[in-house]
Amino acid sequence: MRGLITILAAASFNLCHGSIVLPRDASPEVLAAEALAAPIIVAERALPNSPSGGYAPASVDCPSTRPTLREASSLSKSEVSWLEKRRNNTVAPMQAWLSRMNISGFDANSYINGIKDNATALPNIGIAVSGGGYRALMNGAGFIAASDNRTNNATNTGQIGGLLQATTYLAGLSGGGWLVGSIYTNNFSSVEDLRDGSKGSSVWQFGNSIFEGPDNDGIQVLSSADYYHDIVNEVSDKQNAGFNASITDYWGRALSYQLVNATNGGPQYTFSSIAQEPNFMNGDTPFPFLVTDERSPNTAIVSLNSTVYEINPFEMGSWDPTTYAMAPLQYIGSNFSAGSVPSNEKCIEGFDQVGYMMGTSSTLFNQFLLQINATSIPSFVRDIFTNILTGLGEDNNDIAQWEPNPFYHFNNDTNRNANSTQLTLVDGGEDGQNVPLYPLIQPQRHVDVIFAVDSSADTDLNWPNGTSLIATYQRSLNNTIQNNTAFPSIPDANTFVNLGLNTRPTFFGCNASNMTGDSPLIVYIPNAPYVFHSNVSTFDPSYDRADKIAIIENGYDVATMGNGTLDKEWPTCMACAVLSRSLMRTGTAVPAACNTCFDRYCWNGTTDSSTPGNYTPAFKIAELSAASSMGVAKMGIYVAALTAALVVMLA
């Protein structure tokens, strides 16, 4: 019997044919023992520092130096100070990563050693994870897992683990913002830890949709009615404290149950508390952003020249020449007027509750409202939620209502909302820029290379076609809004499909001498079917464990090109992209291996704008149907190990 169990366990591991392979010196029995001895546990959260002790903001004494707004002419002093630590902390991981990427004829270790004391010469890396609901969260999670040296076997040959540790900035929007927000509010937990969870936690348990409430270990912890009563009561607390409530409050509270590893989704946890976490303060993690768009009240249009806002642990604001201001996030609910809090008023903290911040970046509620009748939740609960959403929508509350407006009477000549007491914000992808490149292309940050992870649903079958990059490129050509940002030339969407640029990684902006400004090189990483149909709808509200693992696994294969199955030189080419701008600045000759990579992956300017046929891509490797049906995916060695352990115990 035990021999059969071993064979079955080994067969399960054989499904793990590439992403994170079984170590040569480890048997399933050994891994099972290790898994039982050291179970995966999601790390504790950020800080529950809302002064109310709950979801509602509350007044506090202002600090001796009262919080003020500043014009967006430079980085904040806090970010500059943080960068000094982070850039130093990326040196060793960057050396290790570049060396493992194995650029033939190039000594990466010596090169980084020679410039490690010169921050302007060091490569400066950014990662941007697109919107697209749970599809974007899970596909983006695959890329982050592949880039993280904490992921099992992610530093083996053909793997890219360590890129995350060498990265300076990490941006998310909508579903990608859920990923970034969840990682950081759970103390920069790894994707593996969040994916596998821990006993009693509902974090990343997507089997129950947010319309039903959390399901832990197969047990409904709260009835749907109690779940909604809790959410409604928490939002009512905010209203009773004197703040307006919009649909985003309900949405953000529901999201938090799945994204924040705390009781009731951590209603008292704030996004600004990330800045007080030791790992962030010490520069041990990248700098996170969420991105959102401004929408005027009583309108339903968000155009490409709408003002874009970033949310980071220190500040919230816009670099655009319209608002052109930054406000301290910790005090964002304070009654700022003309850039300061009146001397006779107290400050407010707790407005930047983590769910509300993630919800602000993902306010696609009308579409979700259409999906409610298709869910399996009890009819009386469905009626309650429908009434809430419908009532709010009729009052134009299908937006995030930031009231008071922190930019009230500030930059009056250009600020479109200078005379409004309310700042209305929506999903950051509604202007077409579904990949959150905005904070990473600001010239003040001098980012060299951006890995643009695109899980957009641009085609009929929910695959990307470059539309987001096109939008950012077009915006960069608009002198009235672009604020000196430069961006590489991007072809039309038909060209993306006809030339297959949306099915494999492509580099844009390889020749920096052709740029009109300081533009990063864009490494476009589009979602494609490597081992699983990851083109699920943006509005699918739930996923079973097998599908969740499989979509994350597909994202892992997208990031690694199937662990080099499709191109064994892909890790080398990623390293060349990272080094490109640095080599130019230091006058270092480009290695021959990198020139080969650039010939292979750089867009050469060719276009084909003819109307493409139906885009139905085939699997690039092989379908994970067996793994899906068995609930086993090749990325999770410890998942398979735990399965093997349980079988052994039952035997």
Element (H, E) at 315: strand 315-318
**Average pLDDT of span 72-97:** 98
Q: Does any domain span residue 588?
A: yes
Structure tokens at 583: 């080599």
Phi-psi category of residue 477: left, alpha or beta, with phi > 0 → left and psi -120 to 50 → alpha: alpha
Find the mean pLDDT for residues 422-436. Answer: 93
Instruction: With respect to residue 75, please indicate whether it lies within any of the assigned structural domains.
Output: yes
CB 292 within 8 A of CB 427: yes
Number of folded domains that form the chain: 1
Average pLDDT, the chain: 85
Q: Name which of 378, 90, 83 is nearest 224 in CA terms.
A: 378
What type of residue sits at position 634?
K
**pLDDT confidence band for 40 (50 / 70 / 90):** very low
Q: Which of 182, 166, 150 is nearest to 86 (CA)?
A: 166
State how far the Cα of 644 lies from the Cα of 507, in Å rounded to an integer.
Answer: 42
pLDDT average, residue stretch 122-145: 97
| Degrees to nearest 5, angle at CA 54 with 51 and 59 | 30
- Which residues touch 625 (CB under 8 Å, ≥6 apart)? none
- Cα angle vertex 527, ends 196, 444, to 5°? 95
Cβ atoms within 10 Å of 474's Cβ, excluding its own: 16
pLDDT of residue 146 exceeding 60: yes
pLDDT digits (tens, 9 = 90+) for 95-121: 999 999 999 999 999 999 999 999 999
What is the C-alpha to C-alpha distance for residues 94 and 633, in angstroms, rounded to an integer?
29
Q: 131-166 in b/e burial notation, b at 16+ Cβ within 10 A?
A: bbbbbbbbbbbbbbbbbbbbbbbbbeebbbbbbbbb
Residues 6+ positions from 73 with CB-CB distance below 8 Å: none
Q: Rounded CA gap, 112 and 578, in Å? A: 12
Q: What is the mean pLDDT of residues 414-441?
A: 94
Q: At what angle do helices 637-650 and 2-14 cross, to 10 degrees?
A: 160
Query: pLDDT at position 210, please?
Result: 82
Q: Which domain holds residue 183?
A: 2-204+271-293+306-326+433-650
The residues, any chain, with a CB within 8 Å of residue 26's CB and separated by 6 or more, are none
- More confident of the two residues 451 and 366: 451
Residue 331: inside a domain: no
| Contact between residue 78 and residue 327 where contact means Cβ atoms under 8 Å apart | no
Q: Let me know how many helices (H) and strands (E) the chain has, helices first.
A: 21, 16
Listed in sequence order, the residues at least 6 apart from 284 whose beta carbon sits closer than 8 Å to its beta carbon are 89, 188
What's the confidence (pLDDT) of residue 11?
33
User: What separation, in Å, do the N-terminal and C-terminal C-alpha atoms of the chain show?
Assistant: 8
Give me the mean pLDDT over the 586-612 stretch.
97
Q: Is residue 107 a part of any domain in this protein? A: yes
The answer to whether residue 18 scores a pLDDT higher than 50 is no
Q: Which amino acid is at 630?
A: M
Q: Residue 298 has what pLDDT?
A: 62
Give strand pairing partners of 129.
172, 453
Residue 218 in domain: no
Using the predicted structure, report yes or no on whether residue 368 has a pLDDT greater than 90. Answer: no
Beta bridge partners of 220: 215
Q: Are 248 and 392 in contact (CB under 8 A)?
A: no
User: Does 416 map to a domain?
Assistant: no
Q: Does residue 245 lie within any of the structural domains?
A: no
Model confidence band, residue 597 (pLDDT cutoffs 50, 70, 90):
very high
Asked whether the beta carbons of 43 and 203 are under 8 A apart, the reply is: no
Please count the residues of the chain. 651
Higher pLDDT, 221 or 491: 491
**What pLDDT digit, counting tens, does each position of 159-212 carry?**
999 999 999 999 999 999 999 999 999 999 999 999 998 777 889 999 988 878
- Percent pLDDT > 90 in the chain is 70
Q: In the structure, what pLDDT confidence band is assigned to residue 12 with cuts at 50, 70 and 90?
A: very low
* 539 pLDDT tier (thresholds 50, 70, 90): confident
Q: How confident is the model at residue 486 (pLDDT cuts 50, 70, 90)?
A: very high
Q: What pLDDT, in 10s, does the model give residues 256-265?
A: 999 999 989 9
Q: What is the pLDDT of residue 568?
A: 96
| Amino acid type, 516 | T
Helix-strand-coil percent breakdown of the chain, rounded to 5? 40, 10, 50
Mean pLDDT throughout 560-589?
A: 97
Sign of CA dihedral 590, 591, 596, 602: negative
Torsion of CA 218, 224, 230, 236, to 10 degrees: 150
Distance CA 9, CA 11 (A): 5
pLDDT of residue 215: 72
185 occurs within a structural domain: yes
DSSP line for 185-222: HTTS--HHHHHH--TT--TT--SS-TTT--EETTEESS
The tokens 């990059």 sit on which residue? Answer: 469
Pairwise CA distance, residues 492 & 645, whole Å: 52
What integer is the mean pLDDT of 397-424?
91
Partners of residue 59 on adjacent β-strands = 348
CA proximity to 630, closest of 558, 544, 562: 544
Rounded Cα–Cα distance for residues 339 and 330 (Å): 15
Residue 644's closest CA among 201, 142, 19, 22?
22
Is the predicted pLDDT of residue 644 greater than 50, yes or no? no
What is the mean predicted confidence (pLDDT) over 494-520? 90
Q: List C-alpha distances in Å: 245 to 57, 423, 539.
A: 12, 13, 23
**CATH label of the domain that carries residue 594:** 3.40.1090
- Please list the alpha-helical segments (H only) found in 490-544: 493-498
Beta strands in 34-172 (DSSP E): 58-60, 70-71, 125-129, 169-172
